[in-house]
Amino acid sequence: MATSAARPRIGPDECKRGDAALTRAFTLLGKRWSGPVLGSLGSGPAGFRELARAIDGVSDSVLSDRLSELTKHGLIARTVDPGPPVTVSYELTESGRALMPALHQISAWAQEHLPPDPADS
């Protein structure tokens, strides 16, 4: 019988810290539309209307809520150009850009391991 290499044991304190971090992350990122908002900003800054058109099915009020929340948590920056006309744009912060590789990995995992939702067909 082959023996496997010994894995380091993870203690309860490390598990609690990891669980708490995952809970914080998925509390924010697990909200509907958070991922698509971040993903839409992955290609560069965009205004509210551009985002609303890019994210099929999101209402203006929910988009506004997600943008505010993601801004509050430091993943998105909101920039106001006084104009005229006044324009507002949103872009990923350094923290938001740092999240993009993980979101791409989750997307790749979902494509491989989660069947498509029949309602999306």
Range with the lowest mean pLDDT among 16-20, 30-34, 67-71? 16-20
- CA-angle at 27, arms to 21 and 32, nearest 5°: 145
Pairwise pLDDT comparison (5 vs 21), residue with the higher score: 21
Name the band, by pLDDT with cuts 50, 70 and 90, for residue 83: confident
Domains present along the chain, CATH in parentheses: 33-112 (1.10.10.10)
pLDDT bucket at 5, cuts 50 / 70 / 90: low
Instruction: Please state the rounded mean pLDDT for residues 84-110.
Output: 95
pTM, whole model, 2 decimals? 0.78
